[in-house]
């Protein structure tokens, strides 16, 4: 299911608005449910557009949940990545197929390099990276492959990247170059990229946000509910434990906040506790989300 299909099909699930626009100008959708209450929750499908499972779980939850406390549902913070490389090609009026290198080299306003089997298309401060043919597993594996080809990262400081391990037709992941490293949108060395900083400002300015819940990929078939140590850990453990028993092959872990500059440290620093859910299927992620949201209505975090 494409990004556009999912959000249009789910439009009836809640009051729809555009929260803000991402680095490319693509709208970030938000669905709002529940009554005006002193406490609210923000639910996100994360910052990796190639994670289809988390995005779909969030839009499923929009339809299925009836909440008393106000809830903000954001299917993805990377809508450009969710739409993929072809979306950017269409927006740039590039009529070549993404693997038609000869055609691409004739297009004005872009630069095209082929590093063995890796295509690098530059348009301004944007790089599109994808394999010439086939696939290279996930984004991380593909980036390792790209790194071995000698991408000139020292000349790409501040550049934005759209990275896909597939040669066509699949979601990609938006990333950025910071201090000579390719990084995800939710981590940085100097300062958060564009719309990520605006999102953090939005959370900081919102009164009454008591919980941030993020669904993500990773972990295979096991569902992991991650909590970060802090003042509300005990209450969150109760909420997480209730959610874990709703699905098979699940576990709860309590860990320290990840090191470095990242979205979790920033949100937590604004006084908002975090529950992160990874792994499993769309169905299991949705079930866990629904359980957490239902518990949130009765617990004071």
CATH number of the domain at 240, please. 3.40.630.10
Residue 179 included in any domain: no
Q: Same domain for 39 and 100?
A: no
Residue 255 included in any domain: yes
Contact 197, 21 (CB under 8 A): no
Residue 243 included in any domain: yes
Q: Same domain for 77 and 197?
A: yes
Question: Closest Cα partner for 221 from 194, 250, 258?
Answer: 250
Q: Same domain for 74 and 201?
A: yes
Say how many C-beta atoms besides its own lie within 10 A of residue 256's C-beta: 8
Say how many C-beta atoms besides its own lie within 10 A of residue 90's C-beta: 11
Q: Same domain for 114 and 159?
A: yes
Q: Look at residue 301 in the predicted model and tell me its pLDDT.
A: 62
| End-of-domain residue from the set 139, 170, 201 | 170
Q: How does the average pLDDT of the chain come out, rounded?
A: 89
Q: Same domain for 272 and 233?
A: yes
Looking at per-residue pLDDT, the higher value among 11 and 140 belongs to 140
Q: Same domain for 197 and 289?
A: yes
Cα 147 from Cα 114, distance rounded (Å): 14
Looking at per-residue pLDDT, the higher value among 2 and 261 belongs to 261
Give the CA count within 13 Å in the CB-facing half-sphere of 136.
Answer: 21
Q: How many domains does the chain have?
A: 2
Q: Look at residue 232 in the predicted model and tell me its pLDDT.
A: 66
233: burial class by Cβ within 10 Å (0-12, 13-18, 19+)? Answer: middle
Q: What is the DSSP letter of 258?
A: P
Cα 245 from Cα 104, distance rounded (Å): 52
Q: Same domain for 156 and 243?
A: no
Q: Same domain for 92 and 239?
A: no
Q: Look at residue 231 in the predicted model and tell me its pLDDT.
A: 59
pLDDT (tens digit per residue) in 19-48: 999 999 999 999 999 888 788 999 999 999
Residue 43 included in any domain: yes
Cα 294 to Cα 231, 234, 244, 287, distances in angstroms: 21, 17, 13, 11
Q: Same domain for 209 and 156?
A: no
Contact 101, 115 (CB under 8 A): no
Name the pLDDT band for 4 (thresholds 50, 70, 90). very low
Residue 278 included in any domain: yes
Q: Same domain for 108 and 245?
A: no
* Ramachandran angles phi, psi of 245, nearest 5°: -75, -10
Question: Closest Cα partner for 217 from 1, 58, 17?
Answer: 58
Residue 184 included in any domain: no
Residue 144 included in any domain: yes
Q: Same domain for 38 and 113?
A: no
Looking at per-residue pLDDT, the higher value among 28 and 207 belongs to 28
Token pair of 102 as six digits: 């000869």
Residue 9 scores a pLDDT above 60: no
The boundaries of the domain holding residue 203 are 3-81+192-296
Residue 115 included in any domain: yes
Q: Same domain for 222 and 273?
A: yes
Among the ranges given (5-14, 46-55, 212-221), the one the predictor scored with the smallest mean pLDDT: 5-14
Q: Look at residue 149 in the predicted model and tell me its pLDDT.
A: 73
């Amino acid at each position: 299911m494409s990004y556009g299909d999912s959000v249009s099909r789910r439009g009836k699930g809640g009051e729809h608005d555009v929260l803000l626009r991402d680095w490319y100008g693509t709208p970030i959708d938000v669905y709002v449910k529940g009554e005006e209450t002193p406490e609210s929750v923000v639910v996100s499908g994360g910052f990796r557009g190639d994670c289809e499972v988390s995005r779909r779980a969030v839009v499923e939850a929009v339809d299925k949940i009836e909440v008393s406390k106000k809830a903000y549902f954001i299917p993805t913070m990377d809508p450009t990545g969710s739409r993929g490389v072809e979306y950017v090609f269409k927006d740039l009026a590039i009529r070549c197929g993404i693997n038609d290198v000869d055609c691409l080299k004739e297009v004005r306003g872009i630069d095209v390099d082929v590093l063995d089997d890796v295509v690098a298309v530059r348009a301004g401060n944007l790089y599109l990276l994808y394999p010439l043919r086939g696939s290279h597993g996930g984004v991380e594996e593909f980036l390792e492959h790209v790194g071995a080809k000698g991408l000139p990262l020292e000349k790409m400081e501040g550049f934005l990247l759209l990275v896909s391990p597939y040669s066509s037709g699949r979601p990609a992941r938006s990333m950025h170059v910071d201090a000579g490293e390719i990084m995800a949108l939710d981590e940085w060395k100097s300062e958060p990229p564009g719309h990520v900083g605006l999102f953090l400002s939005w959370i900081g300015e919102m009164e009454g946000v008591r919980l941030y819940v993020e669904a993500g990929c990773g972990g295979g078939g096991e569902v992991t509910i991650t909590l970060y140590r802090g003042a509300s850990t005990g209450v969150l453990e109760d909420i997480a434990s209730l959610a874990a028993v709703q699905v098979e092959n699940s576990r709860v872990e309590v860990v320290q906040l990840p090191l470095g500059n990242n979205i979790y440290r920033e949100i937590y620093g604004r006084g908002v506790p975090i529950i992160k859910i990874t792994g499993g299927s769309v169905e299991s992620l949705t079930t866990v989300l629904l359980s957490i949201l239902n518990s949130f209505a009765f617990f004071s975090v």
